A and B are shown apart, each in its own frame.
Chain A
Amino acid sequence: MDITIEFTPDPIVMPPAHLPSREIGAALEFHGIVRELENGSALAGLHYEAHEKMARRRLEQHLAELATLYPCVAIHCIHRLGWVPVGEASLYIRILSAHRGEGIALLAATIDRLKQDVPIWKMTQPSPPAP
């Protein structure tokens, strides 16, 4: 499985659509978007921080393991770091697979592993950081 992992301080730009094989039958895209309400409080956004080197390595390890369970053609993960305003994406995942089943399963498992084990943190902030 082709694995691409990116971290960016900038708004996430979806990578261009590209099908590397004529055997791809499913293309899934997930956008994790910052919501206004967090535990009942209205926010302007969230601040994301990561141990980037370890986060990349940990996510690569998880994806290599998940690829044996849910064989797909490719996965592209982009996680935004720093300040992310409400309504913008903090996470983007695109998965290409032959059939929808393994793609959907890989997407769910990837997000679960990311939230449980990959050293990335979000911190609530009531207002944007000063410029």
Chain B
Amino acid sequence: MTLTILAFAQARDTFGFAERVVACAAEDTPRIVLQRVAPGVSLEHLRVALDCEYVTWDTPIGAAAELAIIPPVSGG
């Protein structure tokens, strides 16, 4: 299966891309996928969402099509 990774705001600078499509397995987790894409990058202070819902870094990807890396928000 393929997964589209979106990186927003500071995360875009940290990971070096805004969007990337990767291959992954349903049992992979966001932590595993991002360690594969960007080895050594710290996930501290970042949240993650699968198909627009916040999840933990160790939640299986399952059937999700999109993984969003969410740095601290600052809207308003």
Contact = CB atoms under 8 A, between A and B. Distances in A.
B41 interface: no
A109 B75 CA distance: 14
A118 B75 contact: yes
Interface string A82-123: 000000001100000000000000000001001111111111
Main secondary structure of the interface of A (DSSP, over half): mixed
A111 B76 contact: yes
A51 B8 contact: yes
Interface residues of B, number: 14
B24 interface: no
B52 A118 contact: no
B34 interface: no
Interface in A37-79: 48-51, 53-55, 57-58, 79
A33 B34 CA distance: 36
B55 interface: no
B73 interface: yes
18 contacts: A32-B76, A51-B6, A51-B8, A53-B52, A54-B52, A54-B68, A58-B52, A90-B76, A91-B76, A114-B75, A116-B73, A119-B73, A120-B75, A121-B8, A121-B10, A121-B71, A121-B73, A123-B9
Interface of A: 32, 48-51, 53-55, 57-58, 79, 90-91, 111, 114-123
